[in-house]
Amino acid sequence: MRQKSKWLLLLLLLLVVGLVGCNTNEKITTSTTPDNEEKSKTEEVSLTIGSWRTEDVAKYEKVIALFNAQHPEIHVSFNPTKNTEYNTVLNTALQAGEGPDIFHLRPYAAGLKLAEAGYVEKINSLNGLNVFPEEALQASRDDQGNQYGVPINLSSTQFFYNKKIFKDNNLEIPTTWDEFIALNDQLLEKGITPIAMGTKEGWLLSLLHGIVGPAVYEGNDFYQAVLAGEKDFTDPKFIESIQVMNDLKKYFPVNSEGLGMDDIRTLFALEDAAMFPLGSWEIPVVLEMNPDLDLGYFPIPSKESNTTVTTWVDGSFAINANSKNKEAAKVFLEFLTTKEFGDLFVKEFSMISAIPGITSDDALLNAISHSTANEATPYMWVTNFTGGDPTTKSLLESELQGMYLGQVTPEEVATKVQENAKTWFTPFQK
Amino acid sequence: MIREYTAPSVRRRKSRVRWTIHLFPIPALIIYGLFVLYPILAALSYSFFEWKGMARGDFIGFQNFVTLFTTEPYGSMFWNAFKHNVLYFVVQMIVMNGLAFFLAFIIYQKIKGAEFFKAAFFLPRLLSVIVVGFLWKLILNPNFGTLNVILEKLGLETLQKAWLGDPNTALIAIILVNCWFGLGFGVLIFLAGFQGIPSELVEAAKLDGAKGFTLLRTIYLPLMVPSIMIMGILTFIQSFEAFELVYAMQGSMGEPYYSTDTLAVFFYRLAFGSSTASGATAIGLGSALATVLFLFILVCTTLFLRFTNKKNVQM
């Protein structure tokens, strides 16, 4: 018996030593596989694309068909992963030196973290990048000015409203902040839920603050001052923006603390609420639930009567640094900068193309697209505050949730956000 | 015992057989090592390094562990989640195992339709946790969920709540759903325990005049200690690894406002990034937390087992 356990122990030890030995050979840095396979133009190449847009498979097939009309020698397959699992799946694959040739890069800090780890190919000299405005390229550009991704679409958040409810109650789109509040009060008096919003899912709260905040602290001025380190989140205007978030709660549906994205979308789509502060990507979803919904939007008017919609780049396409088909991948990325792609994109995806000047037949989308070009303010939490551990954005979300549950005050929310940002946001460390 | 005489040659062959027999576990050990030991050791090793996103940095000793316990918000998040795990365990022990014991006892009395009840109680267990989470999310929905509708029909509007949105009820709601989910398994274990009790003992006790509560206290309960201990240990491990249902019902942020956070959810958030907050990861901290959690469960389970073994000897 004793001998048996000795043997077992020895075997176990050997196994462990062997495995640990394997482990030391593993490197988690960029592999520098030399591109020894010279590919002639006519040789057929296969590319895979990774993405979080499982809902867009059919649409990407059309994109690929258009691409193949020009480049029949490059076979492309679009293999998306569920949105909430995409980061994990992609990270794990990249870590193992694998992953798709081309992948959908999360915007700003999250995507740049992958670039920093050496998983993303630099595309500084890619043809066609010059069509994009600076702000769009910044979503996938590091501090040294290296470009990693081709921006695909802009997202924009604003108040959607039910035109029919507005018309039936003789209500107009607000042009000042006071009108906006008066509008909410009028709806409330008539027994209509003014704003379809729930506080159960944190990301909805940072999103709402992204829309409403700029109206309180005069979006772009405050944003520039924050970037320059002249103002921070202890600024009274910022605290007021959090307070305003709290004040809006009375316009939310009953039991708003238990409502998530699906609930509020249903409320708005079934015409049980008048306004819906959300992103441009919701247009096709809401209209699918209720094709008869007369949908409109308005940019939020600020206290000084400026109007803003909140925009950011939602995704870029990048090349895997470990891909064996980098040249073919570059050809595909160049295609993504062309007007042909842009036209197809707005038509098929009902989203706002990152390529300027692309219009679609959809009047609502065109109008929003026009707003993003003329009265945009950046969605600060996404564009600049996804750094830190936990990220400043997710901390804001939790603290706002705490505020809605009455566990923290608006001042405390601002203080905590400031404390978190100060640990990593360089302009605040001056 | 009479010892048989064996010739020396036979003995030698026997000893060779004995020697080679030790080679047979190797395939199993390789699989065990690859899928159990290796990940544990890897996580352990990761926890001693600095991580920049997905890239491993320098060796930093115990720094990740120090950060986990002393730096805000990690320190308070850890203890907050830990408390929830303890509550998870206590409520499951009392509600789930208590109820399971009671139901198993009733079924053991050979009531009519015992087989039906056994299957019925076990049925939820056959559903995927994600399905369970989704169904209960619908039932508990504040504005059109079945529970609130029933309360309204009964004229109990005042009791209506946003069950999963209110930090006072969210965690307990999830734990109770988990009790509903795990009840059938407990019933099976306890029922097997009851059926393993020698009928002579029960009959003898009955002849001596024991019945009802006395019978339960003096005969059944002491003889059920092994089953109770097994369920205790399983519940303990499951409570401290609680993840799926919380994730399915509330996401990876332990919403609302960390009121449903558990250590495993906290780990997931650290190691893989929250599903909604753009996926920033802290692999070093995540691995440190996984190591702490593993050691905690290991130590507690070992102590628990020691304790049970002693009890068994006493019997």
Q: Say what the pLDDT of residue A104 is.
A: 93
Sign of CA dihedral A365, A200, B249, B288: positive
* A14 assigned to some structural domain: no
- Identify whether residues A420 and A302 lie together within a single domain: yes
Is the predicted ipTM greater than 0.90, yes or no? no
Least confident range of A106-110, A115-119, B167-171, B184-188: A106-110
Please report residues of B whose CB lies closer than 8 A to that of A108.
Answer: 278
CA dihedral A56, A311, A284, A315 (to 10 degrees): 0
The verdict on whether omega for the bond into residue B256 sits within 30 degrees of 0, i.e. cis, is yes
Q: Say what the pLDDT of residue A30 is.
A: 39
Please check the confidence at residue A83 and state whether its pLDDT lies above 60: yes
Please check the confidence at residue B16 and state whether its pLDDT lies above 80: no
B265 touches chain A (CB under 8 A): no
Please check the confidence at residue B163 and state whether its pLDDT lies above 50: yes
How far is residue B72 from each of residues A152, A232, B77, B79, B285, measured CA to CA in Å? 37, 21, 8, 11, 13
* A360 assigned to some structural domain: yes
The one-letter amino acid code at A337 reads T
Nearest to A258 among B142, B272, B280 (CB): B142
Gap between the Cα atoms of B230 and B308, Å rounded = 9
Gap between the Cα atoms of A424 and A217, Å rounded = 23
State how many domains chain A has.
Answer: 2
- Identify whether residues A300 and A423 lie together within a single domain: yes
Residue range B209-252, pLDDT digits in tens: 877 788 888 888 888 988 998 899 999 999 999 999 999 998 88
- Identify whether residues A328 and A385 lie together within a single domain: no
Per-residue pLDDT band at B114 (split at 50, 70, 90): confident
Residues 184-243 of B with CB under 8 A from A: none
Residues with Cβ within 8 Å of B134's Cβ and at least 6 positions away in sequence, in order, are: B248
- Identify whether residues A127 and A245 lie together within a single domain: no
pTM of the full predicted structure? Answer: 0.77
Two tokens, residue B53: 């996103």
Please check the confidence at residue A146 and state whether its pLDDT lies above 60: yes
Q: Say what the pLDDT of residue B14 is.
A: 64
Please check the confidence at residue A33 and state whether its pLDDT lies above 50: no
The whole-number average pLDDT for the span A347-368 is 86
Pick the last residue of a domain from A350, A368, A386: A368
Among A201, A272, A422, the strongest candidate for a mutation testing the B interface, having the largest count of B CBs within 10 A, is A201
When the pLDDT of each residue in chain A is averaged and rounded to a whole number, the result is 86
* A162 assigned to some structural domain: yes
Pick the last residue of a domain from A368, A386, A402: A368
Nearest to B41 among A20, A387, A391 (CB): A20
Per-residue pLDDT band at A187 (split at 50, 70, 90): very high
Q: Which residue has the higher pLDDT, A151 or A390?
A: A151
Tell me the shortest Cα–Cα distance from B132 to chain A, in angstroms: 18
Per-residue pLDDT band at A6 (split at 50, 70, 90): low
Tell me the shortest Cα–Cα distance from A340 to chain B, in angstroms: 30
Instruction: Assess contact for A368 and A390: CB atoms under 8 A.
Output: no
DSSP string computed for chain B: -PPPP--HHHHHHHHHHHHHHTTTTHHHHHHHIIIIIHHHHHHHHHTTEEEETTEEEEE-TTHHHHHHHHSTTHHHHHHHHHHHHHHHHHHIIIIIIHHHHHHHHHHHTT-TTHHHHHHHHHGGGGS-HHHHHHHHHHHT-TTT-HHHHHHHHTT-GGG---TTTSTTTHHHHHHHHHHHHHHHHHHHHHHHHHHTS-HHHHHHHHHTT--HHHHIIIIIHHHHHHHHHHHHHHHHHHHHT--HHHHHHHTTTTTTTTTT--HHHHHHHHHH--TTTTT---HHHHHHHHHHHHHHHHHHHHHHHHHHHHHHHH-
B36 touches chain A (CB under 8 A): no
- Cβ distance B33 to A15 less than 8 Å, yes or no, reads yes
Q: Say what the pLDDT of residue A9 is.
A: 57
Please check the confidence at residue A221 and state whether its pLDDT lies above 70: yes
- Identify whether residues A210 and A300 lie together within a single domain: yes
Least confident range of A254-268, A282-296, B53-67: B53-67
Gap between the Cα atoms of B264 and B82, Å rounded = 10
Q: Which residue has the higher pLDDT, A228 or A13?
A: A228
Q: A299: exposed, middle or buried (C-beta count within 10 Å: 0-12, 13-18, 19+)?
A: buried
A87 touches chain B (CB under 8 A): yes
A210 touches chain B (CB under 8 A): no
- Identify whether residues A302 and A320 lie together within a single domain: no
Cross-strand pairs, A278: A158
Boundaries of domain holding A109: 45-153+313-368
Please report residues of A whose CB lies closer than 8 A to that of B251.
Answer: 201
The whole-number average pLDDT for the span B175-182 is 94
The verdict on whether omega for the bond into residue A390 sits within 30 degrees of 0, i.e. cis, is yes
> Looking at the domain B74-314, which fold is it?
MetI-like fold (1.10.3720)
Nearest to A257 among B166, B269, B272 (CB): B166
Please check the confidence at residue B54 and state whether its pLDDT lies above 90: no
Nearest to A200 among B34, B165, B280 (CB): B165
Please check the confidence at residue B162 and state whether its pLDDT lies above 70: yes
Residues 161-180 of A with CB under 8 A from B: none
Tell me the shortest Cα–Cα distance from A10 to chain B, in angstroms: 11
How far is residue B55 from each of residues A206, A321, A328, A367, B68, measured CA to CA in Å? 29, 14, 27, 43, 20
CA dihedral A420, A423, A426, A429 (to 10 degrees): 100
Per-residue pLDDT band at A197 (split at 50, 70, 90): very high
Gap between the Cα atoms of B278 and A106, Å rounded = 7
Residues with Cβ within 8 Å of B94's Cβ and at least 6 positions away in sequence, in order, are: none
Gap between the Cα atoms of B176 and B147, Å rounded = 14
Gap between the Cα atoms of A278 and A261, Å rounded = 10
Residues 404-423 of A with CB under 8 A from B: 405, 407
Q: Say what the pLDDT of residue A25 is.
A: 40
CATH code: domain of residue A215: 3.40.190.10
Residue range B271-306, pLDDT digits in tens: 876 544 444 567 888 889 999 999 999 999 898 888
* A248 assigned to some structural domain: yes
Please report residues of A whose CB lies closer than 8 A to that of B166.
Answer: 257-258, 405
- Identify whether residues A214 and A360 lie together within a single domain: no
- Identify whether residues A345 and A409 lie together within a single domain: no
- Identify whether residues A192 and A96 lie together within a single domain: no
* A224 assigned to some structural domain: yes
Angle at B123 between CA B118 and CA B126, to 5 degrees: 135
Please check the confidence at residue A332 and state whether its pLDDT lies above 60: yes
Gap between the Cα atoms of B293 and A258, Å rounded = 31
Instruction: Assess contact for A397 and A240: CB atoms under 8 A.
Output: no
The whole-number average pLDDT for the span A379-389 is 86
Please check the confidence at residue A367 and state whether its pLDDT lies above 70: yes
Q: Say what the pLDDT of residue B214 is.
A: 83
- Identify whether residues A136 and A269 lie together within a single domain: no
Q: B179: exposed, middle or buried (C-beta count within 10 Å: 0-12, 13-18, 19+)?
A: buried
Least confident range of A281-285, A318-322, B14-18, B249-253: B14-18
How far is residue A183 from each of residues A122, A231, A372, measured CA to CA in Å? 50, 32, 24
- Cβ distance A117 to B272 less than 8 Å, yes or no, reads no
Nearest to B53 among A117, A198, A253 (CB): A117
The whole-number average pLDDT for the span A79-91 is 84
* A266 assigned to some structural domain: yes
- Identify whether residues A396 and A248 lie together within a single domain: yes
Gap between the Cα atoms of B90 and A278, Å rounded = 41
Scanning every residue of chain A, which has its alpha carbon at the shortest distance from the alpha carbon of B161? A255
Q: Which residue, among A144, A259, A253, A242, has the nearest Cα to A204 in the 3D structure?
A: A259
The whole-number average pLDDT for the span B51-68 is 79
Gap between the Cα atoms of B216 and B234, Å rounded = 24
* A28 assigned to some structural domain: no
The domain segmentation of chain B, as residue ranges, is 74-314
Task: Compute CA A48 distance to the chain's CA centroid, rounded to the nearest angstrom.
Answer: 22
Tell me the shortest Cα–Cα distance from B251 to chain A, in angstroms: 8
Gap between the Cα atoms of B108 and B106, Å rounded = 5
- Identify whether residues A191 and A77 lie together within a single domain: no
Two tokens, residue A102: 């081309």
Q: A362: exposed, middle or buried (C-beta count within 10 Å: 0-12, 13-18, 19+)?
A: middle
The whole-number average pLDDT for the span A205-231 is 92
